[in-house]
Structure 1
Amino acid sequence: MPHALVDPESVPVELRPYLGELVRRTRVICGDGLVSVFAVGSVALGDYRHGRSDVDVTVVVAPSVGAAELRELAESLGALPCPAAGLELVVYDSDFLGRPSGAAGYLLDLNTGPLLTNRVSFDSIGAQAFWYVIDRSIGYQAGCLLYGEPVRRVLAAPGRRELSAAISDSVREHADGMGHLADNQVLNGCRSVAFCREGRWSAKRVAARAIARSEPEFRALIETALRSFERPRAEALALPATEVRAFLAWVRESVDAFTH
């Protein structure tokens, strides 16, 4: 019997059985309405850290897939034990995903796993769109195909205006929002600035090393954030709050200069 994944070697070994079963269940539930499944986030960018990273998955379905199938999918995948810190899975209609958009636009948004708060949403109205726009941008650049149609055949890249707004909103959320680990605030800021400079998404650790080289005043903070990122989430290092705020203020200025 062929493997459930298009290319098992393209995903971290710790995730292969899980993602294979995720694809299998999704195929059973969606049937002929399943168009494509691909990984985004750290898996796509080659920086998955087992015990620290989430696994981010995008599912594309035909308009024929209805509410009953989506609810069954959420229940089935929510009951599947996740070996990563968590699963963040988003289902889109193929018609929506084939056009550039700055909206959230999902049919199903599922968060589950040992270190995530379980969440199921079938209505994207009022959702913070930047999370989804950035993931779609990463997917268009580097999406890791797990099943079905090639990524760029089903996914349109967000336009520059929509992506610029999403990056600005992301920076503000990580600076002002609650519940973010300090190391991730710093590394996400590095990734945002690196994208603005280079026009391509980098893995957080790659972006952080580049910013540490170019911005010596923040080098010590970034290096501490990198060391913290190597640890499990529960063992993250404490970063000086004043230095983190100063760095995030610089990130905001740098991103605003690019996006405006």
Structure 2
Amino acid sequence: MDEPLRRYLTELVAVCADLLGAGLHGSYAAGSVGLGAYQPGRSDVDVALVCADRLDRAVAGELVARLRHEALPCPARGLELVVYRREVARSGTPEPGFEVELNTGAGMDFRASYGPADRPAADGLFWYALDRSILHQSGRTLSGPPAAEAFADLAPDDLRRLIGEALRWWLALPVPPGEVPAPGAEDAVLGACRSWVRLRHGVWLPKVAAGRRLLADAGPLVDATSTDLVERSIAARTGGTPPTGPSAREFQRRVLAALGDPVPPAAHRPA
């Protein structure tokens, strides 16, 4: 962990402890920080808080006010923070179940949601349980009990269903046609690799490691085209040219089909 990120997380936890007091059960770094794959200048900072009880709306609003980028500058592209009650975090539920969600930073749009009803269904409600599954395996404890105790994993059927929902969500996003490099397409490819590896091998890996693991498997998804696509996606994470949107979507469709899920029709928008 680099020094600016370490200082930021230390200050963030101190703000949360000051505001929530004994109601703060634990705080955890998730996402790329938890998985040991944080890239300064590229990665977001993902943090999950666990509180003892349901948050009062005024307290939730104050938490947002004190943690937003304008009050506590984030050294990364942005902060994605989610707050869960202890009983939700420990339940293994596939439901979103969050108290507060905050997106804030110099490189992302501000958003504050006070419960799942505030979150548009079109933005995806599957992320939260999948994130808690990653936290159970690899959350980095900033305060409180170990992440593996604070968060329960999903049941296998729920995990498979939510991964399928995530892939279909990606596929429903419109992409420009044509062979034009599409920034962000590399994350779509490597995210699909990570989903495949989790269901095949039972472990969440960072995106780049998941891409390499899928290629090493040499299974039915690996041919010359997909090998080139995955390798190009890995290179794009460090400045290389990203793949095209249509090629990324086709790979996601192959992963979804390999999982035995229905594959939706392709979506496009005019160039």
TM-score, normalized by the shorter chain, greater than 0.5: yes
Question: Counterpart of 1:203?
Answer: 206
In structure 2, give the amino acid aligned to 1:19.
L
Indicate which of 94, 98, 101 corresponds to 2:93: 101
In 2, the alpha carbon distance for the partners of 1:237 and 1:169 equals 28
Separation (CA, whole Å) in 2 of partners of 1:174 and 1:12: 31
Q: CA shift at 1:90, angstroms? A: 0.2
Secondary structure of the residue aligned to 2:191 is: helix
Structure 1: which 5+ runs fail to align?
A: 1-10
- What's the TM-score, normalizing by structure 1? 0.87
Among candidates 210, 220, 231, match of residue 228 of structure 2: 220
Aligned mate of 1:253, from 235, 257, 271: 257
Contact map agreement 1:107 1:123 (CA 8 A) in 2? yes
CA distance in 1, matches of 2:41, 2:115: 30
Task: Please list the CA deviations of residues 214-252 of structure 1 after superposition, one character each: whole Å capped at 9, or x if unmatched.
Answer: 213311111111111113xxxx73423442232111111
Distance in 1 (alpha carbons) for counterparts of 2:96 and 2:141: 21
> Is the contact made by 2:190 and 2:233 (CA closer than 8 Å) also made in structure 1?
yes
Distance 2:6 2:242 in 1: 33
Query: Which residue is 2:150 aligned to?
Result: 154
What is the percentage of aligned positions where both structures have the same residue? 35
1:191 to 190, 194, 199: 194
Structure 2 gaps of 5+ residues are 176-182, 262-271
**Number of residue pairs matched?**
243
**Aligned 1:1-260 pairs, distance under 5 A:** 11-63=1-53, 65-78=55-68, 79-125=71-117, 127=121, 128-177=124-173, 181-213=184-216, 214=218, 215-217=222-224, 218-231=226-239, 237-256=241-260
3-state SS of paired residue (1:52): coil
Quick one: which amino acid aligns to residue 66 of structure 2? S
Mapped contact 1:33–1:65 kept (Cα < 8 A): no
Greater helix share, 1 or 2? 1
Alpha-carbon distance in structure 1 between the residues aligned to 2:110 and 2:174: 17
Once residues 246 and 23 of structure 1 are traced to their aligned partners in structure 2, the CA distance between those partners, rounded to angstroms, is 41
Residue 63 of structure 1: how far off its partner (Å): 1.0
> Where has structure 1 moved over 4 Å in runs of 4 or more?
none
